[in-house]
Chain A
Amino acid sequence: MSAVHPAITDLLRELAPRVLGVLVRRNGNFDDCEDAVQEALLAATVSWPVDGVPTNPTGWLITTASRRLVETRRQDSARRRREGTYALEPTAPSGAVPEVDDALALVFLCCRPELSVPSQIALTLRALGGLTTAEVARALLIPEATVGQRISRAKARIRDTGAKFMMPTARERDERLPAVLHVLYLIFNEGYTATSGEVLNRVELTSEAIRLTRQLRESLPDEGEVAGLLALMLLTDARRGARTGPDGALIPLAEQDRRQWDRAAIAEGVAIVEATLPVAKPGPYQLQAAIAAVHDEAADVDATDWPQILALYDVLTAIAPGPMVALNRTVAVAMVRGPATALAELNDAAADPALSGHHRVDAVRAHLLDELGEQDAAREYYLRAAQRTRSLPEQRYLLARATR
């Protein structure tokens, strides 16, 4: 869709879940309908830029996709007749079409626990986000065939388990919402990478994750964690421009040029946090968003309200304890109570087997030793951390610290 006008691309992505919803309700088969919608979207990217956007774009897409679906079925039944096999045609549900929030039903279908996480991601991006298989593959930096296979496996699994395209009940929603949010969070993280030069034709997964989370929030305006995740994404993405240096090395929060932060995204994220925290049941995404908001509102590191950040980490530790939370908390402890206290707490946190050999422990230790003026020891831990990280920008940063 690269050559297509962005407004058309945006419109298609927005309409994709709605069109798919209508088709699945009429015809019953998610698998075939999803393929048909993909073909209709592709047809639109060819004809709309030439003929103009139709007056009823949704209707155009539904008609085109339905036609494709009929063609596929005709070919299939002809093949079945040739092969002498029979299959019952799915019957269209009769009567009034129930009020269904298509985007919500879709995201719960795509993020079913029976599917592997990579499959959930690929299917969500295609069925809900309206991306082509090629776009998903470019965004995830894997071959198109690999993505195609993940999508067809996911759809086969949905078929086998008999999972239906329908509105989740309140109970299903509560049970499965964390998995849905996790998939959106992973899509965001996947896209949260250094842009090494201009990568043309590459869909920004961070923007896509934000768009999908925004869409989910429209469906579930009262879910505090959906709002929290959206705010967390906005507040994190706002720093993107300041996060890497010209050589691709990571620039840590403390050293970023805050003038490059995206003020509009910060304002939106902060507003969501302020509106959500007082009324919603607290959750890890809301608290992480609140921490990000405190960072983003500070003019510099010293102006940061560290006691507030530490208090938020304490709440986070109480409701969602974890090794990474404990580790990040020690950085706040250092700012409030000094590096020596933090170092003692780091030793406790590092005793967790989940952190054994983790490069982040070495990186935090190096930072604390540096603060204490123990440069030689700090250098050693920076090197150890550099050796163990899997992130190239982080490796560059840690090596730079070790050698400066």
Chain B
Amino acid sequence: MKYMILIHSNPQFLERWKALPEEQRERFGRDHRALIAELADAGELVASEGLADPALAKRVTVAGDQTMISDGPFAEAKEHLAGFFLVDCEAEDRALAIAARVPDAIWGLVEVRPVLDLSERDM
């Protein structure tokens, strides 16, 4: 079953992150890479990416045959998406265990969402 592990962030977190000592930030990166490698090795990784700063976001609006592009993130959003893991694993327990290994979980910013599939299981 596929699960999306979302890593959220917000401006306060970014400040705390910048204030971390260099070695702790490095360990964050190392732990991320180790987790990705482990998931790939286990045959559970579908995709994982970190997202660029929300300042680089572009907003796309289609009205009729007009496409409008505007700069910046959704103004009203206080939180933004910083990265994700898409995993395919046996059960939700396992997805939660993977999420607990995401370094950002120490900040309480990690969310696990089941992915909708096209199944039509009767049973």
Contact = CB atoms under 8 A, between A and B. Distances in A.
Interface of A: 116-119, 122, 142-143, 145-147, 149-150, 153, 189, 192-194, 196, 236, 243-244, 250, 288, 324, 328, 390-395
Contact of A118 (B40, B88, B123): B88
A147 B120 CA distance: 23
A189 B43 contact: no
B120 to A, nearest CB: 5
A118 B121 contact: no
- The CB with the most chain A CB atoms within 10 A, among B88, B90, B118, is that of B118
A193 B118 contact: yes
B43 A118 contact: yes
B37 to A, nearest CB: 11
Given A116-B90, A142-B88, A149 B40 contact: yes
A145 B40 contact: yes
Contact of B120 (A149, A150, A324, A394): A394
A392 B118 contact: yes
B88 A243 contact: no
A293 to B, nearest CB: 14
- The CB with the most chain B CB atoms within 10 A, among A147, A288, A394, is that of A394
Contact of A117 (B90, B114, B116): B90
Interface string B111-123: 0001111111111
Contacts of A324: 123
Interface in B18-70: 40-47
Nearest to B45: A146
A194 B1 CA distance: 17
Interface in B68-123: 88-90, 114-123
- The CB with the most chain A CB atoms within 10 A, among B43, B115, B116, B117, is that of B43
Nearest to A192: B120
Interface of B: 1, 40-47, 88-90, 114-123
A5 to B, nearest CB: 29
Contacts of A150: 43
- The CB with the most chain A CB atoms within 10 A, among B45, B115, B116, B123, is that of B123
Contact of A147 (B43, B90, B122): B43
A392 B88 contact: no
B45 A244 contact: no
A391 B41 contact: no
A395 B122 contact: no
Nearest to B114: A390
25 contacts: A118-B43, A118-B88, A119-B43, A142-B46, A142-B88, A143-B47, A145-B40, A146-B44, A146-B46, A149-B40, A149-B41, A149-B42, A153-B41, A192-B120, A193-B119, A194-B118, A250-B120, A390-B1, A390-B114, A391-B116, A391-B117, A392-B118, A393-B119, A393-B120, A394-B120
B22 to A, nearest CB: 33
Contacts of B90: 116-118
Contact of A393 (B44, B47, B114, B118): B118
B116 A192 contact: no
A189 B121 contact: yes
Given A116-B90, A146-B88, A392 B116 contact: yes
Contacts of B119: 189, 192-193, 390-391, 393-394
A324 B122 CA distance: 10
B2 to A, nearest CB: 8
A392 B121 CA distance: 11
B119 to A, nearest CB: 5
A193 B2 CA distance: 15
B114 A149 contact: no
Contacts of B41: 149, 153
